[in-house]
């Protein structure tokens, strides 16, 4: 048996990049399944579009760079990026939204930096920010829960709406995003943000008909689905506990401070933990091994920093959900965090 002398970290069980990405995709299934159950299966259409574009874009760039194509595509990183982009955009967003976002993520954020392992920003979150800033209307048009649909929407209707902007019966996407009671739907974070701007308090918002009729319960269950998947990743040691636990603890602490200071203007910790993309971010986005901090202390600081930025932007900023913005800002700080949290060399001067 050959003796291999290598630096830390040391793994008892070796896992290839492909195996890790397969585990990540498998653990995304509970959240995606719940999302599809409540909001229809159009997100599966978006996933198909994003995955195909991701593979084609990566293959073309690898061909241009004269890099091995098949072996690189087999690592599954492009697939994960495409899936994360697809589930972050509204299910009935036009097909070109997923195409533009995926092309930007693969070509500009990943491959132009040198490919997997070289990018400094999370590709999916960089693409999401680009789409949100460039196409705010398309990126904030969410369907109500399926039980609140004003019309019967089949899978073919959703497919037609994604590619043409209207169903087979001629209903537009804007008509589909109005509930059976005539209330325009939005995510819970959108509802709270816009209602606070209108001068309402959080008590009035949570007691209002529009909030109770919104998809708040659906978003709660979607977060629980991603929490279940994240727990499996932790149990299998695909990801380490430092980043997700420090992030969720930070969200709890910082949102509690804001809520205790001004309960009429800030959501409770439970609201922040189970709204938006909190659980998806905690287990599947922040834990990106390429763009996250690498030291033990650095990972804890990284998680706390993103939690602080997310709560701050949600409560004070102009965008309702802030995971993507917070992650990109955290990615920018990773070199500094790693530099100041490097462990002392054994035998070196303290």
Tens-place pLDDT, residues 259-288: 998 887 788 898 889 888 899 999 999 999
By the 8 A CB rule, do 244 and 234 touch?
A: yes
By the 8 A CB rule, do 230 and 27 touch?
A: yes
Residue 182: pLDDT above 50? no
Distance between CA 267 and CA 72 in Å, rounded?
A: 44
Helix (H) or strand (E) holding 11: none
Name which of 82-96, 177-191, 229-243, 305-319 the model is least confident about.
Answer: 177-191
pLDDT at residue number 349: 64
180 vs 130 pLDDT, higher one = 130
pLDDT at residue number 180: 42
pLDDT at residue number 153: 78
pTM to 2 decimals? 0.86
pLDDT-based confidence at residue 190 (cuts at 50, 70, 90): low
By the 8 A CB rule, do 89 and 131 touch?
A: yes
Name which of 36-50, 90-104, 322-336 the model is least confident about.
Answer: 36-50
Distance between CA 209 and CA 214 in Å, rounded?
A: 8
Nearby residues of 103 by Cβ (< 8 Å), 6 or more positions away: 53, 57
173 vs 18 pLDDT, higher one = 18
275 vs 184 pLDDT, higher one = 275
What is the percentage of the chain residues whose pLDDT exceeds 90? 51
Distance between CA 252 and CA 308 in Å, rounded?
A: 10
pLDDT-based confidence at residue 255 (cuts at 50, 70, 90): very high
343 vs 148 pLDDT, higher one = 343
Residue 88: pLDDT above 80? yes
Distance between CA 165 and CA 179 in Å, rounded?
A: 18
What's the whole-number mean pLDDT along residues 250-267?
89
Average confidence score pLDDT of the chain: 84
């Amino acid at each position: 048996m050959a003796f291999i002398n290598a630096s830390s970290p040391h793994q008892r069980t070796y896992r290839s990049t492909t195996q890790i990405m397969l585990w990540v995709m498998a653990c995304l299934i509970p959240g995606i399944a719940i999302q599809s159950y409540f909001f229809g299966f159009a997100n599966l259409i978006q996933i198909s579009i994003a995955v195909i574009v991701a593979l084609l874009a990566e293959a073309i760039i690898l061909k241009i760079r004269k890099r091995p194509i098949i072996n690189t595509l087999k690592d599954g990183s492009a697939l994960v990026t495409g899936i994360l982009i697809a589930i972050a955009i509204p299910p009935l967003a036009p097909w070109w939204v997923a195409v533009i976002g995926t092309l930007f993520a693969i070509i500009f954020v990943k491959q132009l930096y040198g490919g997997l392992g070289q990018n400094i920003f999370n590709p999916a979150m960089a693409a999401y920010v680009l789409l949100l800033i460039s196409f705010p209307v398309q990126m904030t048009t969410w369907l109500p829960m399926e039980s609140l649909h004003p019309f019967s929407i089949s899978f073919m209707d959703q497919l037609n709406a994604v590619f043409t902007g209207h169903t087979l019966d001629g209903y537009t996407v804007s008509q589909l995003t109005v509930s059976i009671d005539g209330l325009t739907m939005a995510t819970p974070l959108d509802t709270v943000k816009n209602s606070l701007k209108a001068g309402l308090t959080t008590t009035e918002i949570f007691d209002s008909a529009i909030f109770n009729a919104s998809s708040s319960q659906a978003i709660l269950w979607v977060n629980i689905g991603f929490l279940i998947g994240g727990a499996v990743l932790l149990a299998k040691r695909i990801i380490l506990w430092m980043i997700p636990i420090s992030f969720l603890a930070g969200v709890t602490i910082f949102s509690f401070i804001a809520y205790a200071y001004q309960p009429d203007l800030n959501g409770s910790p439970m609201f922040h933990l189970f709204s938006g993309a909190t659980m998806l971010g905690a287990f599947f986005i922040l834990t990106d091994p390429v763009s996250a901090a690498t030291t033990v202390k650095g990972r804890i600081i990284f998680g706390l920093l993103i939690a602080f930025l997310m709560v701050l932007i949600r409560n004070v900023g102009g965008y309702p959900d802030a995971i993507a913005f917070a992650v990109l800002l955290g990615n920018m700080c990773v070199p500094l965090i790693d530099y100041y949290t490097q462990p002392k060399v054994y035998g070196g001067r303290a």
